[in-house]
Structures are given as structure tokens and as C-alpha cells.
Amino acid sequence: MAEPIHRQSLTEKVYQHLKVQLARRALKVGDRVNARQIANDLNVSRTTANKAIDQLISDGLVTTDDSRHPVVAALPARLKVHRESAFEFLNQTDSTYELLLERLLRGAFGPGEVIKERPLAIEIGVNPATVRRAAEWLRTEGLLERLPRRGWRVTLLTPRDLKDVYEIRLLLEPMAITSAVHRITEQQLDDLEQQTQRLIELGERATVYDRREADHYFHKAISEASGNAILASTLDPLIRKALIVTTVGFRYGRAARSFEEHREILAALRARDEATSVKRVKAHLRNAMKFNAEIWERKPS
């Protein structure tokens, strides 16, 4: 029996890419390391970009200035291994997984839609077995279902399924925020507030994908700030699964209030007020569960 294929961390790839850029002197000491720009340039999430920057900080290559912005502190030696090359996924399965996940979160594949391995493989230029392995990763996260001899189906959640997801999150996210309130840094809070404010200001001009990505980033960042890696890894697929359905809510008026609630949660975290932080995140999740379940029950076909 073949061993499971290990999915290399995308954060590690971005980290290595940034080290190459530093070694090539594409940046100099004192230059700001902009997570938003990195995310845009490499087509990754800001969460991934920030994690890679955190690794550079741990290495002593990046530090934070008086405004808590990351800046280059030192440069690695010029080594031959730091050759000039464009950022790319070195593992085709990892690349295919990221492509499928992005299409799911963009709504290109809707709930219940069937994805055929061979046509998709031809479209993106990989082997059907590669699509199968990537789809299997998404199946373990609850986003796809295997249809024997037919392909893969985007998970078709019922209102009951959605409520179950939120009820589990209502148990776990207060645990995460209880720890995060004492561990989350001012820089992390600044970053989350800037993103939340941007989505509020964009209003209806923000795309559904923008809203989904920001919502995922917000909840994932707080769960990771808890310092409990098991808790964070358990929550992440639940957050993603809810987002597959909450596209409906993001199209029908919940988005504006949702990001206002994010801002209220951040204010409680900023005050290091554990009780209020827990109360607000519970209210936020209950509001989302109620709204999205009701909308999902009467969504247009």
C-alpha cells in the first residue's frame, strides 16, 4: 500500500521564496516587508504571508519597527542555492489542492456540483491521479464527497448540517478566544482591524470571495493566537465548511453586520477583556448560524 503523500506547507514555500529574495538582495536592510503585497504577488492568503514573515522574524532576518511593521533586519549570505526563480508550487498535488480550494471558496464550484477528474486534469495540465489526491485532501476537510465512478461532489450541506457546524464552533471558538485574549499581539490586532475596516468601507463593492477570505482569516488568526495547534487545526476545516454555505449570506445582507461584529470582538480583545470577548464571539456565531440557516432554507435554486 502506497504511503500517503505529504502536503508540503504553503507557508514554508513562501518563507523559502522570501529568503531567496533576501539572499538575492531584492530587499535591503530597513525595507518594509508588506504582507498584503506578498499575498497579492504570490496569490496566497495574507495569513500564509504573515506566517512566513513570522518565520523570518524568528530567524532574525526581519524585525518590527516603531509602528510594528515588519522590516528587513539582516540579509542571509549570497549562496548559489538562492538562484533567481519565480515562485511556484513544487508539488503538483499541493498546487492542485490550492487551486481546487480557491475555486470552492470563490463559488466557481457550487454546493452539490460534480467535479470530474479527467476534464479538470486536462484543463490545468496535471495527471487525473493528481486531481484525485488533491480532492482526497479536501474530502478529509469535509468540502468534497467521493462519488464512485463519477468524480467528486461539492459537499451539499443541509440547514441541519450547517447548524451542527456552528454548534461545534460555539463550543471550540470560545475556548480559543479565552487563550487568545492573553496571547494575541498588538500587531496581530492592528492587522485584523485594518482588514475588518477595509471590508466595512468596501461595503457592497467587496466581492463574495473578499468577504469569505476576510472571514476565514479573522477566525483562523484568532484560533491560532490561542497557542493551541490542535484546537486551531480542528477549527479550520469547520470554518471553511461553513464558508461554502455562507456565500448565500454574504450575498443577502449579512456581510456588513458580520464585519461590524468582528470589530466589536477585536475591541474586547484589545481591552484584554476575556468575558466580553467570549460573549461577543458567541453572539457573532449564533447570529451567523441563525441568519445563514434561514437563508439556506429558502435560497434560490
Decide yes or no: CATH 1.10.150.20 for domain 159-297. Answer: no
8 Å CB contact between 220 and 262 = no
113 grid coordinates: 456540483
pLDDT at 250: 52
Model-level pTM greater than 0.95?
no
pLDDT at 4: 42
Mean pLDDT in consecutive groups of 10 residues from the start of the chain, 301 residues:
49 85 86 86 76 89 86 78 48 76 76 90 86 88 86 83 91 96 92 88 73 86 93 89 64 73 96 97 92 65 43
Residue boundaries of the structural domains of the chain: 10-72, 92-154, 159-297
Residues 92-154, CATH architecture: Orthogonal Bundle (1.10)
Q: Do the domains at 92-154 and 159-297 have one common CATH topology?
A: no
CATH of span 10-72:
1.10.10.10
